[in-house]
Amino acid sequence: MSSLSAWCGTFVWLIHKDIVRELRARRILPVTLLLGISLILLLALRLDIALDARLHVSGGLFWAASFFAGALLVERSFAAEREEGCWRAMRLMPITPATIYLAKLAFHFLALLGLQLVILPCFALLADVSWMANPGKLAAVVVLANLGFASIGTILGGMLCSLRQRSQMLMILLLPLVVPVALGAGAATTALADAQPDPEWLLGLQLLGLFAGLYAAAGALLFEYAMEE
């Protein structure tokens, strides 16, 4: 019991460290938000099409914008760890790599959620689409999609943070690996435009759940090796 509470304490402390650093330095969220909003504007500009077609593509476009901005979020999050020597210090501390991974994953998940709280209403407004007919189902899609993205983003970010060309390499690896998550999220979100979503919604959600689980498990197992230098 005491070891579990100690683990929880370390886990919360690691997330707290990231949040405090972000509140003090504001290195991640402002630039990520700006990129997210710019992408949303750029995509929404081209959505002056028939309602059916717009509803069909808007889910995928929203998640594409969200994950592009999310890739920058992950890259900047690990760059900050690296530049301030925090990464090395964390490796020296008696904390298991899986704990560090889960804490970073949780921070990225929360940051993505913060980003989407801003860009989701913006996109819905500019593209004139609404997915709010089923708020509970939308929340399930958002949670699983962010979990899937944060899981794979965190392992790749941790693995590449010592590399000079980490931002390019992160994009090259992250974008193909996140496609199953983006496909599932896009399909599920598009189906949510109807008050009675078709079975496509459940299929998208299952794909999301499968890959979120697989990536999180793979990340927890492999982060030990990803952290090495």
Partner 1 sequence: MNGLATSRITSAAPMNLVTILTLPVAMLLGSAISLIFAVAPREVTMGDAQRIMYVHVAVAWCGLASVLASGVAGIAYLKGRSLASDGWAQAFTEIGWLCCVLTLITGSIWAHEAWNTWWTWEPRLTSMLILAAICSGNLLLRGSFEDPHQRARIGAIVALLAILDVPLIVLATRIFRGIHPVHPSMSTTMRAVLVASVVGFAALFLLITEWRRRQIMLGNSITDMENREYNC
Applying CB under 8 A, which residues contact partner 1? 152, 155, 159-160, 163-165, 169, 172-173, 175-177, 179-180, 183, 203, 207, 211, 214-215, 218, 222, 225-226, 228-229
* Shortest Cβ 168–partner 1 spacing (Å): 9
- Closer to partner 1 at the Cβ: 41 or 183? 183
Helix (H, G, I), strand (E, B) or coil at 25: helix
Structure tokens at 21: 């650093």
Contacts of 60 (CB under 8 A, 6+ apart): 182, 186, 187, 189, 190
Long-range contacts of 210-216 (CB under 8 A, 24+ apart): 211/148, 211/180, 211/181, 211/184, 212/144, 212/145, 212/147, 212/148, 212/151, 212/181, 215/148, 215/151, 215/152, 215/155, 215/177, 215/181, 216/105, 216/147, 216/151
Q: Cα(80)–Cα(77) distance, rounded to whole angstroms?
A: 5
